[in-house]
Amino acid sequence: MPDEKIYSVAVTGRNGQLGKELAQIAPQFPQFRFYFLSREDFPVDDMEKMSGWLKENPADYLINCAAYTAVDKAESEKEHAFKINGEAPGIIAGLLSKHAGKLIQLSTDYVFDGRSSTPLTEKAATHPINIYGASKLQGDQNAMSKNAQTLIIRTSWLYSYYGNNFVKTMMRLMKTKESIQVVNDQVGSPTYAADLAKAILQIISSEKFIPGIYHYSNEGETSWYGFAEEIKKITGSSCTVLPVASSGYPTAAKRPAYSLLDKSKIKKDYKLTIPGWRTSLAVCIDALLKSAV
C-alpha cells in the first residue's frame, strides 16, 4: 500500500480512562484518522447499529475500550457483564473481518486465579475467580475465533488523569481522613493509561501487526498497600496508611492474590520501553495536582 494512505482507527469507549488518553495523544499520529465512539455512537450491545456504523466507516483498526468494568456488581449482573464483555468482542471481530479490519481488544489480569508466584506470561493457564474475569476471558476467546487479525492486550490496575480510579480515590481520602486501610496481600503492577495508550498507537504504527495475546502494565511490582503508600509519599500527605488482609475487607467479587504480568513478549515484538510504575504515577499525580490549583 502507498505510504500516503491514511488509515482509519475507531476507538470505542471514548469516555473511559483509556479512550480519553488515546484521544489526548491521537494528534501525534497524523497517519491515522480517528473516530472516538461513545456508547450512543457505537452501542456494543446492539449488533445492528455496530454493523451499520462499520459499513459506513470500514475501520482499518478498531481499539475496543468499551467494557463492563464494575467488578463487584458483575457478580449480580452476570448476564449483562457477559453480553458486553463476552459476546460483543466476538461480534465486533466478526464485523471487522468482513473488510479485513484489525481488532485490538483490551483485556485484564483478572483472567488469572492469582495462585502463581512468578510473573504471568501470555501462555499461563487462565482460571478466572470472578464473573468480570470470566466475561473478559470469553470476549478474548470469541474475538480471536471470529477474526484472525485480533490482538489482545491484557493489562492491570489501570488508572488515569481521567475518570474514577484508585489513585484519585486515595488522593481524596488522604485529604479528609487521618488513616485509611488498604489491602496488602494482592500483588501486581499499576498501569498508567497514558502509557498504555502510547503503546497501543506505537503497535499500530509499527511495520508489523502480530495477532495474539500480549501483556502490558508498568514495570515493577507492588501491592495495593504499596501503591497507596507511594501516592501518600508523592502527594506529601500526613494520612496514615494501614495494611490490611483481603479477608478483613470482603468484596462481592474475589480478586486474584497475584497477577503480576510478564511484559517480555510485547517489549520484544514491538520494541517498547515501559516506564516503571513509580515514575508514571508521579507524572499522573503531578498533572492532577496542577489541575487542582
pLDDT tens for each residue of 110-146: 999 999 999 999 999 999 999 999 999 999 999 999 9
Could you give the CA distance from residue 159 to residue 166 in angstroms, rounded to a whole number?
Answer: 7
Partners of 7 in the β-ladder:
32
pLDDT-derived band at 4, boundaries 50, 70, 90: confident
Q: For residue 249, what pLDDT band results from cuts at 50, 70 and 90? A: confident
d(CA 139, CA 40): 21
Mean pLDDT of all residues in the chain? 96
Q: Is the pLDDT of residue 277 over 60?
A: yes
Neighbouring-strand partners of residue 240: 179
pLDDT tens across 75-122, in order?
999 999 999 999 999 999 999 999 999 999 999 999 999 999 999 999
Rg (CA), the chain: 19
* φ, ψ of residue 111 in degrees (nearest 5): -75, -10
* Helices (H) then strands (E): counts for the chain: 10, 12
Backbone phi, psi, residue 242, to 5°: -105, 130
Q: Identify the DSSP state of 261.
A: B
Q: Is 244 domain-assigned? A: no
Per-residue confidence band for 207, with pLDDT thresholds at 50, 70 and 90: confident
Structural domain contains residue 223: no
pLDDT class of 3 with cuts at 50, 70, 90:
low
Cell numbers describing residue 168 = 484519585
> Is residue 132 one of the residues assigned to a domain?
yes
User: Could you say which DSSP state residue 84 is in?
Assistant: I
Of 216, 183, 31, which is closest to residue 106 (Cα–Cα)? 216
Round to whole Å and give the CA distance between 138 and 181.
34
Q: Is residue 151 part of a domain?
A: yes
Alpha helices in the chain (DSSP H): 17-25, 47-56, 78-81, 88-97, 131-146, 166-176, 193-205, 224-235, 264-270, 277-292
- Enumerate the active-site residues: 132
Cβ-contact 285, 167 below 8 angstroms: yes
Based on the number of CB atoms within 10 Å of its own CB, is 30 exposed (0-12), middle (13-18) or buried (19 or more)?
exposed
Q: Report yes or no on 86 lying in a domain.
A: yes
pLDDT tens figures, 211-247: 999 999 999 999 999 999 999 999 999 999 999 999 9
Calculate ∠ Cα 200-51-99, nearest 5°.
Answer: 60
Cα angle value 265/271/275 (rounded, 5°): 85
How many CB atoms are located within 10 Å of the residue 55 CB?
11
For residue 204, give the CATH number of its domain. 3.40.50.720
Q: Considering the domain boundaries, does residue 174 fall inside one?
A: no
* 235 in any annotated domain: no
Q: Which domain covers residue 146, as residue numbers? A: 7-160+191-217+261-274
Cell of 108: 485484564
Number of domains into which the chain is organized: 1
Percent of the chain with pLDDT over 70: 99
What local confidence, expressed as pLDDT, does residue 293 receive? 59
Q: Domain for residue 183, yes or no?
A: no
Q: What share of the chain is helix, strand, coil (3-state, %, to 5)?
A: 45, 20, 40
Q: pLDDT band for position 1 (50/70/90)? A: very low
Q: Would you tell me how many other CB atoms lie within 10 Å of the CB of residue 283?
A: 15
Q: Which residues of 102-122 are buried (b: 16+ CB within 10 A; e: fewer)?
A: bbbbbbbbbbbbbebeebbeb
Mean pLDDT confidence for 157-175: 97
How much is the pLDDT for 5?
84
- pLDDT above 50 for 2: no
